[in-house]
Structure 1
Amino acid sequence: MIYINQVLQYTVDSKRIRVIEIYDSCVYIVDIDAISSMPKKELYSNLLTEVQQGELLIISDPFAKGVIDSELTNQQIQKREEGWSIIQQYCFPHLKTLFQKKGREQKIKEIAEESGTSPTKIKKLLSRYWQRGMNKNAMIPDYINSGGRGKEKTLTKEKVGRPRRVTVSGEYQTGINITEEVKLQFEHAINKYYRKINNYSLNDVYHFILRDFYSDRYKENGKMKYRVWEANRIPSYHQFYYWFKKLEDPKKDIQFRKSAKEYELKYRPLLSNSKSETNGPGTRFQIDATIADIYLVSSLDRNRIIGRPVIYAVMDVYSRIITGLYVGLEGPSWLGAMMALDNMVADKVEFCKQYNIDIEEEQWPTHHLPEIIIADRGEFEGYSVENLINNLNIIIENTTAYRGDLKGIVERKFRTLNGKVKQKAPGAIQKEYRERGDRDYRLDATLNLKEFTAVIITLVLHHNHKIIEKYPMEKEMIADNIVPTPINLWNWGIKNRKGRLRTVDRNILRLNVLPREKATISRAGIKFKNLLYGSRQAIEEQWYIKLKNRSIEIVYDPRNVEKIYIPHDYGIDFETCTLLEPSQQYKSDFLEEIIFQQQLRNELEEIERSNQVQLTINTDTMLEDIINKAKKKKKQSQHQPRSKREKLASIRDNKAIEKELHRQLEQFDLESELVDQKGSVIDFATKGKIEEDTPKKSSSRLMDKLRKKRDEEFEKDK
């Protein structure tokens, strides 16, 4: 039910309204917080529906307070009497007309003329009357706590519950009872403020309740202000907390305050374990990746930091043994996952030997395919998953988004590996946020990718022989005196549970899972990642000459660029391509490092490109300067005109003369310094020096030709 003089508050914008009249299935309301508010017409059924749906809350009348005349000033009493007299004498007879929008302005003007006041004052008095409780004390000017008791709901008994301990003037404050309306206010505030990503505390929410429902609103310097009511008119924090615990929904609170993903990841009940879904080794493998907490250096130049590597691990759920491993700079991605799957079926003795680690097969005996692989959606959706399913009969179970806990076994192992790396290796991340003045741990990077891989292999070998804490042991294991280490559980499971282990030729697996790309065929060879390869088939079929196929699909291993593979016969066989001599220098490098070097080269060329532009501009300027000077000299030397025919006819003779002239200028003279000195003649009879007054004249063929040419030109000019 909705009553006259009842105060309601909207949940969306906290707007407060008062019901001033109900008739003819209509309700007339005013905004009690506006400076001036005239009645607005609403359907009773609409308003009731909003109340029932929780869009409108029933709240206490903020103006319902007893006012003692002795506490008022003479001016306040005088203003109250004057305003009440105008309302009672001139407005009451016309209230039905004033409720209606049509004709209201005209009626207000008539009342103003009749009462001898202005229309603005009549509007102000009517607004105050309707907003503040429709009683005589509503006319008290600028008295925000004015208003009568109206029809506020009263309890049939005194406040229930424990009395408050705080006293005012020696008396206990009684407070209020928590009615259904108050509970609704609590629930509204919890949904609006507490169950939000803002993460407001309960104390904050309690303050919001007081602000929205138990305070007076007024404006000061154009800004809204709030004055909380007295303690005996508001619920206490303890009352709010008590009902909050009653209304509490932990699952909903976590999902709204944090996220549904975080609830599933960190807070959902754990009523089972991963092992319960397996019946032996090879039933389920989990695969996941993590970025290692360490910075590495380039194998080409240890002064260059290349960033943090990615570790991919494949782990058997039943035994907890690590069955596959990949450490590189690729990922987390499909490519990195494929590298780990390739290592999963590899001979671990040979794998460790590549990193100068010698082991026996018993130390790491895994080289099998599982029945099921649990992986992330992003890495195992699409790509070559169909090949795994159709050709190798492996079931791929993708975890739901942000549910890393579904691969909890391998996730925990990553935390252990990163912890060991931080303890031992230089360049490891020691803390997430460095303070001012702290040394940058990235500058301590020392290990390259190959050395760090050897470190991870060592830790994996240690894990395979380490006792697993809280492993759900079976009765038969205890009877057989099995210590729960991954190696022991693996071997015991194969013997007693059989499991679902299968083997496959590694080359066939590679054809199905290794990344595929296009290589270009040119006269220099098969070009892939700027590396050149050759193959027997390409030579026999003369690919390099015919160039019929400009590109061809190849399969490659980023960890071994010495070979790439061309699949054929519908994936049953393949053609091996090996590095040609120009690219042999890269045969022992990882593809990531080769790409890094190529990027470095491109960066250096890009940096130098601006200098090259400047050099080209300067060169062009110098060329233009030389040419312009030559043009100027030619123009100055053309005193006597010559025909075009004469110029062309003398080219051969001019060339011969110029050649002879340059031969004289370009000849080597090893005694040039002695020739430059002034010569003297010695008389052997007197042994005295004979001074030469004039230098000896000499002639040459060149000078003769020059004189002859000069004479010919002179004769022609005559």
Structure 2
Amino acid sequence: MIYINQVFQYINDSKRMRVIEIQDLFVYIVDIDAHTSMPKSILYSTLVSEIEQKVVLVIADPFARVLVDDELTEIQIQKREEDWQTIQQYCLPYMEELLQKRGRESKIKAISVQLKVTPTKVKKLLSRYWQRGMNKNAMLPDYINSGGRGKEKTLSKEKAGRPRRVTVSGEYQTGINITEEVKLQFEHSINKYYRKTNNYSLNDVYHFILRDFYSGRYKENGEIKYRVWEANRIPSYHQFYYWFKKLEDPKKDIQFRKSAKEYELKYRPLLSNSKSETNGPGTRFQIDATIADIYLVSSLDRNRIIGRPVIYAVMDVYSRIITGLYVGLEGPSWLGAMMALDNMVADKVEFCKQYNIDIEEDQWPTHHLPEIIIADRGEFEGYSVENLINNLNIIIENTTAYRGDLKGIVERKFRTLNGKVKQKSPGAIQKEYRERGDRDYRLDATLNLKEFTSIIITLVLHHNHKIIEKYPMEKEMITDNIVPTPINLWNWGIKNRKGRLRTINRKILRLNVLPRGKATISRAGIKFKNLHYGSRQAIEEQWYLKLKNKSIEIVYDPRNLEKIYIPHDGGMDFEICSLLEPSYQYKHDFLEEIIFQQQLRNELEEIERSKQVQLTINTDVMLEDIINNAKKKKKQSQHQATSKKEKLASIRDNKAIEKELNRQFEQFDLESEQNDQKASVIDFAKKEKVEEEATKKSSSRLMDKLRKKRDEEYGKDK
């Protein structure tokens, strides 16, 4: 329900409006904070809808305050009476016309003529009357500072709740009742200010409530300022806090103030544990990676620091034993995860022997496939996951984004490993930020990758025999006197819970975890990444003789492209393809290096193509110049009328003459190349030098003979 003199506040811009009239389908409202404000109409149904949707809130009347004439000055009373008389005599009789936009200006102008004032003065009087409660005290001058009499909200009883403890002049301040309208104001402010990433405190939110709903607004030096109302007109902080606790939604508050991801990670209820989802060893393995808090040195030169290694670990959820390990420089990526999965099925005795650590099989007996692998989305989305699912029947459960806690067991183990590394190893990161003057711990790096791997293996072996604190023991375990160490739990689980353990040939696992790609079969061989490969099967089945190129799926290791593999028999066997001689130069290159070289070649060719365009254009211009000059000379030489038949008949003789001329020009003269002096002609019969004139005559006689022979040939044709 909407009432006359009710005040609303819009949520989006905090604009406050007063209802001054309701007629049929329309509500007339004015802006109570504007310098002057004329009425505007809005559909009654529209305003009701905005209230229901909480686009606008009902607020306390900021001008509703009890004033006694004894508290006013004579000037204020006199001014109030004059302005009130003006409103009563000159404005109220024409209120119907003043509410309507059409004709309002002419009516205000007519009133101003009667009062002998400007139209602006009339607008200010009307605005004050409408904005401040449409009563006599609304006409008080400087009302924003002195207050005014407005329509007082009367409640059915005095303020509910216990009285305030703070007294003024020996009397308790009555405060206000928390009505449904006030609750809406509280809820709006909590959503707007508290449930934001700004992390405002409740005290801040309370101040915002007072500013937005319980203060007067005025301008000072062009800036809007606020004056909070008296204590008996505002809700107290304790009232706000009381209703905040009633409106509180801890989950929503954390999600809005922090983030939904942080809530899931740090604040969600923990009503179960990882082991409850398993029924024995091999049901679920967790895999994760971390960057170790240590800097390593090169195996070639210990003075070269190579950075921090990556540790990948695979852990059985039921027993907490580590079933796979990779320490290296790959990742965190699929390649690193692939290496850990490869180690998962490896013989751990042989693995430890590579790092000069001798163990018995019962110290680290894991070399199995699980039923389920829990992994990160980034590394286990795409790649060869489908092969693990389809060919090896392993279920991949990807954690949701930013939910590393779903792999809490292996995460905690990483923290333990990093803690041990920091305590013992030189080059470890001791604190996040170094202070000025602190030694750079990177300069203390001493261990190479193999030595650091030996340390991690030693810590893993220690973990496998260490008691697990707060492990959820089963009654049967206690009956069998089982001490909860990973090795004991693994062995007891295999014996009593069976689990889901399976073994597999290591080559088949590698075939299914390696990345896959598309190769093309053509007459030049099997082409992959612009490299050419050959295969025994391809030769026997005459793949290269097909006229049409064919695409085939292959498996490859990006770290070694000397060979690629064609899987067959449902992913349980493969055909080896080796590099052919044209691509053998890339035998020892990684895929990244090959792609880089190909990109570099393409870039160089692209740069050269721009030059080639310019060269082609210039060449065309030169050709056109030569041809045009030739055409021009031919046109100038057409002074003799010669028939087409004569031109064609003389081709052979013309060629003979031209050949003779070219021979004179093209002949080798070795002496002239060695001596810059002018050549001399020698008469070998007389052994004397022939003079130049004689030489010219000899040449002239030769040309005469040629012409004579040509004329004879012409005569024969005729």
- The TM-score normalised by the length of structure 1 is 0.77
In structure 1, the residue matched to 2:323 is 323
Matched with 1:141 is: 141
What is the rounded CA distance, in whole Å, between the counterparts of 1:454 and 1:523 in structure 2? 49
- Distance in 1 between residues matched to 2:190 and 2:457, nearest whole Å: 52
Asked whether the equivalents of residues 522 and 548 of structure 2 are also in contact (C-alpha less than 8 Å), the reply is no
What secondary structure is seen at the aligned counterpart in 1 of 2:224?
A: strand
Contact 1:137 1:146 in 2 (8 A): no
Do the aligned partners of 1:64 and 1:146 also contact (CA within 8 Å) in 2? Answer: no
Shift of 1:141: 2.7
Aligned partner of residue 482 in structure 1, secondary structure: coil
Q: Is the 8 A contact 2:211 2:226 kept in 1?
A: yes
Quote the offset at 1:162 in angstroms. 3.6
649, 653, 659: which one pairs with 2:671? Answer: 653
The SS at the match of 1:3 is coil
Secondary structure of the residue that 1:382 maps to in structure 2? coil
Q: How does 1:15-164 map to 2 (within 5 A)?
A: 15-145=15-145, 148-164=148-164
CA distance in 1, matches of 2:19, 2:257: 36
Residue of structure 2 in register with 1:264 after alignment: 264
Offset of residue 452 of structure 1: 3.2
**Alignment correspondent of 2:238:** 238
Counterpart secondary structure, 1:199: coil
Q: CA deviation at 1:315?
A: 1.1
C-alpha separation in 2, matches of 1:650 and 1:377: 79
Contact 2:558 2:591 in 1 (8 A): no
Match in the other structure for 2:700? none
User: What does 1:503-582 correspond to in 2, within 5 Å?
Assistant: 503-517=503-517, 554-557=554-557, 565-568=565-568, 571-576=571-576
Distance 2:185 2:494 in 1: 63
The CA distance in 1 between the partners of 2:592 and 2:308, in whole Å, is 14
Look up the equivalent residue of 1:112 and give its one-letter code: S
Task: Name the SS for the 2:330 alignment partner.
Answer: coil
1:422/1:546 CA distance change after superposition, 3 Å? farther
SS at match of 1:282: coil
CA deviation profile, 1:195-239 (whole Å, cap 9, x unmatched): 122221111110110011110011223222111112222111112
Task: Give the corresponding residue for 2:166.
Answer: 166
How far apart, CA to CA, are the structure 2 residues paired with 1:460 and 1:269?
31
| TM-score (structure 2 length as normaliser) | 0.77
Secondary structure of residue in 1 paired with 2:144: coil
Q: Name the CA shift for 1:298/1:577 in 2 (closer, same or farther; >3 Å).
A: farther
The whole-number CA distance in structure 1 between the counterparts of 2:397 and 2:354 is: 32
Matches of 2:386 and 2:370, distance apart in 1: 16
Moved more, 440-449 or 210-219: 440-449
Distance 2:242 2:178 in 1: 11
Question: Structure 2: which amino acid aligns with 1:294?
Answer: I
Deviations along 1:610-639, one digit per CA (max 9) or x if unpaired, are xxx9xxxxxxxxxxxxxxxxxxxxxxxxxx
Cross-structure match for 2:492: 492
Give SS of 1:144's match. Answer: helix
Please state how far the C-alpha of 1:184 moved relative to its aligned partner.
2.0
Q: Percent identity?
A: 82
Counterpart-to-counterpart distance in 2, 1:525 and 1:461: 49
Contact 2:64 2:133 in 1 (8 A): yes
Task: Tell me which amino acid in the other structure corresponds to 2:196.
Answer: K
> Residues 281 and 494 of structure 2 are in contact (CA less than 8 Å); yes or no, is this contact kept in structure 1?
yes
Q: Give 2:202's aligned amino acid.
A: L
Gapped runs of 5+ residues in structure 2? 609-660, 677-686, 695-718
Q: CA 1:649–1:59 in structure 2 vs 1: closer, same or farther (change >3 Å)?
A: closer
- Structure 1 counterpart of 2:191, which letter? N
Cα distance in 1 between the residues matched to 2:688 and 2:458: 96
Displacement of 1:130: 0.6
CA distance in 1, matches of 2:273, 2:443: 42
Q: How does 1:273-312 map to 2 (within 5 A)?
A: 273-299=273-299, 302=302, 304-312=304-312
Whether the 8 Å contact between 1:293 and 1:422 is mirrored in structure 2 is yes
Per-residue CA deviations over 1:544-563 (Å, capped at 9, x if unaligned) read 99999999865345677886
Q: What aligned pairs does 1:382-461 form with structure 2 within 5 A after superposition?
A: 382-461=382-461
Cα distance in structure 1, aligned partners of 2:356 and 2:693: 93
Q: 1:142 to 1:52 in 2, by over 3 A?
A: same
Given the superposition, is the C-alpha separation of residues 122 and 303 from structure 1 closer, same or farther in structure 2, using an over 3 Å criterion?
farther
Q: Which has the larger displacement, 494-503 or 546-555?
A: 546-555
Specify whether residues 547 and 473 from structure 1 end up closer, same or farther in structure 2 by C-alpha distance, changes over 3 A only: farther
Q: Does 1:352 align with 2:348?
A: no
- Listed one character per residue, the Cα deviations across residues 30-61 of structure 1 (whole Å, up to 9, x for unaligned) are 11011111111123333233334433322211
Find the counterpart in structure 1 of residue 8 from structure 2.
Answer: 8
Q: Is the 8 A contact 1:134 1:147 kept in 2?
A: no
| Aligned-pair CA distance for 1:568 | 4.5
Find the aligned partners of 1:487 and 1:196 in 2 and give their Cα distance.
Answer: 49
